[in-house]
Amino acid sequence: MKGTGVALVTPFNEKHEIDFEAYGKLLDFVLHGGVEYLVVLGTTGEAPTIERSEKIDIINYTFEKVNSNVPVVVGIGGNNTSEVIADLETYPLQKATAVLSTSPYYNKPSQEGLFNHYKLLAEASPKPIILYNVPGRTGSNLSWETTIRLAHESVNIAGIKEASGNMIQCMHLLKNRPIEFLVTSGDDHLGLPLIAAGMDGVISVAANCFPKIFSEMVRLCLRNEFQLAKGFQYNLLDGLDLLFAENNPAGVKAILAELGIIQNQLRLPLVPLSEQYHTKVKEYLQTLQ
């Protein structure tokens, strides 16, 4: 799972139902663009507003469409440990490569609480767990010390998507990780410098709409061809800013709608990109043509 994983959006139609025709087009687009693996039902996929039955349908559709040609990682997380365990035990994960599980949000557990939460998830999960540290969303930081402790004490914890944006924390994590422990960036903007520091790739929002450019940039970084990679990174930089100008995935859905792949629909409490930024999206896309 080195390289680019795409944190897939969930397309909706005008009735805010899941648009599987558009989802199939999106899967074709990102796979043709060269991403190495798929991540479904993450934050970018608006998982908090998707019902359990819908999640199962999305998982099964993805497996059927991909047909084991690339790894599929399924997002299963939450702030109720017993509920997450129940999901791990009952979701259709037979064809999944791993589970991406965000740190508990809102209730702000201590490091010991985070350790015990993930330890129990690892014991219950039929697939390896990838930790997901994103303090800007969860309200608490999974420290590098706790991550390394989990890496050594839980054989079913295989890696981490690290999105703290803290370069010092990231370097301590990379310095102390077991050799087989996956460390991937959860921040598109910092993909290049974090791979230079030793990370294994990026789980990316941008790879939904810029799969070819972004995944090639990551491959160049992993080959230590950073001079070439910088050209790709700086070409995308204004686009990355637009992806996160208001809320995620409003930016990426606006771009995908302009590309004719999905409709520009989100479920409340998220709303589409404002007219001001949508105009900037159109202008930016003209610079890529």
The Cα angle at residue 34 between residues 30 and 39, in degrees rounded to 5: 50
Q: What is the dihedral of CA 205, 258, 231, 163, to 10 degrees?
A: -10
Rounded CA separation 90/70 (Å): 23
Q: Do 216 and 255 touch, CB atoms closer than 8 A?
A: no
Three-state DSSP class for residue 62: helix
List the catalytic residue out of 161, 230, 234, 284. 161
126 cis-preceded (ω within 30 degrees of 0):
no
Q: Do 30 and 204 touch, CB atoms closer than 8 A?
A: no
Q: Which of 68, 31, 73 is nearest to 212 (CA)?
A: 31
Three-state DSSP class for residue 31: helix
Calculate the alpha carbon distances from 170 to 93, 126, 141, 269 in Å. Answer: 30, 28, 12, 32
Structure tokens at 81: 């440990």
Structure tokens at 66: 């991909």
List the catalytic residue out of 132, 230, 234, 284. 132
Residue 118 catalytic?
no
Residue 277 catalytic?
no
Rounded CA separation 10/26 (Å): 9
Q: Euclidean distance between the first and final Cα of the chain, in Å? A: 30
What is the amino acid identity at position 204?
A: S
Would you give the DSSP letter of residue 98?
Answer: E
Q: What is the dihedral of CA 71, 75, 98, 175, to 10 degrees?
A: 100
- The residues annotated with a catalytic role in the active site are 132, 161
